[in-house]
Structure 1
Amino acid sequence: MGLTLVQAWTHAKKTLEAAGLSGPVIDARLLVEAAADATRTDIVTDPYRALSVEQEARLSDYLDRRIRREPVSHILGRKGFWKIMLNVNSHVLTPRPDTETIVDLVLKQTEEHQRFSILDLGVGSGAILLAILAERPAAKGLGVDVSEEALAVARDNAAHLGLAGRVALLRGDWAAGLGDESFDVVVSNPPYIAAEVIETLEPEVRDWEPRLALDGGPDGLDAYRELAPEILRVLKPGGIFAVEIGYDQKEPVEALFGAAGAADVRTLKDLADRHRVVAGAKKPLETGA
């Protein structure tokens, strides 16, 4: 007789623990659910349901891949972010809870039925842009990325979420090809890891995520040097921006946006109390008395 759901979960946890992986309890549950076509509720309410031979083989494959440090999101091909589920692969960064800080900020500064335009530079999977548009039905967005493979993932996600009609996706180098277009909100999660640090990262990131989305140059700040003036150029007067940063980049990134002429520049912390998002605005046009 094959493994039951509860036995499969126990086996998966022990296998991942023995391999020295962090977070084995959650990873094990996610892999068992996917392999056995089960839900978390099934594991609790029907723990003695047996896996088929095919399901056991699938779980074994998933565990082997996880032991090789392939991220769970790549194994399953999906990742939850904010309130949406996204398809992901090796061409895009796996969305992380830290990045939800940007989504939270934009939603707090806009109204539910407000009409506004949003630009996401380095859109990747579409996580930030699509999470915001899913909660702001009158808004429209443009996502720009240099990677055509990443744009394909974003298009797929927009279609699955029913948002394709409110999203345009463009291959480009940051805001260089946007001409005179302007936006009410600009967001970005650019590459910000110093090049020499990449080799020290966890294998799940170092070996599986796109270098293009990680490498921020010698000091990790290359993208912000380009983005600060470009974001201020394409923002409408009074418009707001938010960019993700590394935990130790608050001062230099704030300085770059200040030098570019941004107003109200400040840094927000993530749920782990680390500096995570530099935000600000473009000064509104002055009106005569």
Structure 2
Amino acid sequence: MVNTPRAAVQETRRRLENAGLESAQFESRILVETVLELPYGAPLPEQPLTETQQQRLAELTARRCDHEPLQYLCGTWEFFGLEFRVGEGVLIPRQDTETLVETVLELRKGASSTCLLDLCSGSGCIPAAVSAHLPDVTGAVLELSPDALPYLRQNLHRHAPQLQCCAGDVLCPPAALLEQQYHIITCNPPYLTAADMEQLQPEVAHEPETALFGGTDGLDFYRKLTTLWKPALLPGGWLVYEVGAGQAADVEQIFRKNGYAQVHTVPDLTGIGRVVLGQKAEI
């Protein structure tokens, strides 16, 4: 029967392939699982899809063929072993960012508690993942976008309810956040260059421009945040950034110009310099 889950996967795969999508086999299975509300990799049932499920699958398939991100269609996405709510208006969690989380976990290994601030928080994947793997994490997150904030609040409520969720601009932040001091400040800021923005993949073009564009050379946020937020670090505390491919050396230089110590870069699994961090000098 054409409306059995297995047949639905095959038909969805055919449509995605015809639309030129490279991961059609993987994505067709994900879309059927989403419609059937099955966990990833669960066995497909034998019973046919209902008419409502068939209509829903046809809609999602058409949207994916138009290059709407798969993550938005699913409504959730996995990051560092946790499930996050995502949708239009929020940056999609990516595997690249797991390098940042791993770096923070190594920095705070053995610490009894950690006071954390996450800037440009988006979905909240960074502070949530850190909170899930370190003891007694407190602190706050800061996000400006009214479209991203509902996802951020939902994800923190689920994974890190102890963190304070603040709406505001990282470049003109609430005084209360600047007056606190943190062991770790994390940030995955907008870092795409003007040239990058002109060559976006169709899927990435669906994501919010405010979470992508970092100025002509992609470094605007690094220049401003590195100076602005240094007083909010405890002595010996770390500012930890995700950076784009090829930006590590420039961001290291920004750290050094601002008097940070122990400045270095951590590569991701592909060997690209993905995380740059610096330490506020001990008194």
AA at the equivalent of 2:137: A
- CA separation in 2, counterparts of 1:246 and 1:111? 26
Number of aligned positions between the proteins: 279
Aligned to 2:25: 25
- Secondary structure in structure 1 of the residue aligned to 2:68: coil
Alignment of 1:189-200 (within 5 A): 189-200=188-199
CA–CA distance in structure 2, aligned partners of residues 28 and 112 of structure 1:
43
Instruction: Say whether the 8 Å CA contact 1:78–1:87 is kept in structure 2.
Output: yes
Structure 1 residue 8: Cα displacement: 1.3
Tell me how far 1:224 sits from its aligned partner.
Answer: 0.5
Q: Is the 8 A contact 2:139 2:163 kept in 1?
A: yes
Any idea what the Cα deviations from partners look like across 1:79-98, whole Å, max 9, x if unmatched?
11112111111221000000
Corresponding residue number in structure 2 for 1:51: 49
Deviation of 1:179 (Å): 3.4
**Counterpart secondary structure, 1:6:** helix
Equivalent position SS for 2:240: strand
* Residue aligned with 1:254, SS: helix
Residue of structure 2 in register with 1:234 after alignment: 232
The residue type equivalent to 1:41 in the other structure is A
Which stretch shifts more, 254-263 or 52-61?
Answer: 52-61
Corresponding residue of 1:104: 102
1:187 aligned partner: 186
Letter in 1 for 2:74: L
Aligned to 2:213: 215
TM (normalized to structure 2)?
0.93
| Alignment partner, residue 203 of structure 2 | 204
User: CA offset at residue 244 of structure 1?
Assistant: 0.6
For 2:191, the aligned partner's letter is Y
CA distance in 2, matches of 1:275, 1:9: 38
Closer, same or farther: CA 145–37 of 1 in aligned 2, 3 Å: closer
Q: Shift of residue 195 of structure 1? A: 2.3
Aligned to 2:12: 12
1:272 aligns to 2:281 (yes or no): no
1:60 aligned residue (58, 61, 74): 58
- The Cα of 1:2 is off from its aligned counterpart by 4.5
2:67 to 62, 65, 69: 69
SS of equivalent to 2:223: helix
Partner of 2:37: 37
Distance 1:141 1:180 in 2: 12
| Structure 1: stretches of 5+ with no match in the other structure | none
Cα deviations by residue, 1:201-233 (Å, 9 ceiling, x for unpaired): 101111x11110011111111001101112322
Displacement, 1:160? 2.5
> Which residue is 1:174 aligned to?
170
Q: 8 Å contact 1:77–1:87 — kept in the other structure?
A: yes
Q: Return the offset for 1:24.
A: 1.4
User: Aligned partners of 1:188, 1:148: CA distance in 2, in Å?
Assistant: 18
Match of residue 243, structure 1, among 234, 241, 244: 241
Aligned to 2:88, what secondary structure does the other structure show? coil
Farther off after superposition, 67-76 or 173-182? 173-182
CA distance in 1, matches of 2:208, 2:6: 35
1:141 Cα deviation (Å)? 2.5
| Separation in 2, partners of 1:27, 1:241 | 37
Per-residue deviation, residues 54-95 of structure 1 (Å, max 9, x unmatched) = 211111111001001110111111111112111111221000
Aligned to 1:149, the other structure's residue is in SS state coil
Please name the residue that 2:120 is paired with.
Answer: 122
Contact 1:102 1:243 in 2 (8 A): yes
Deviations, residues 78-119 of structure 1 (Å, cap 9, x unaligned): 111112111111221000000011111111222367211000
Unmatched 5+ stretches in structure 2: none
Go from structure 1 to structure 2 and tell me whether the alpha carbon gap of 1:135 and 1:53 turns closer, same or farther (over 3 Å shift): same
Counterparts of 2:101 and 2:58, CA distance in 1: 37
Separation of aligned partners in 1, 2:69 and 2:178 = 38
Judge conservation of contact 2:2–2:8 (CA < 8 Å) in 1.
no
User: What is the distance in 2 between the residues matched to 1:31 and 1:128?
Assistant: 26
CA distance in 2, matches of 1:232, 1:26: 44
1:2/1:52 contact within 8 Å kept: no
Which SS does the other structure have where 2:179 is aligned? coil
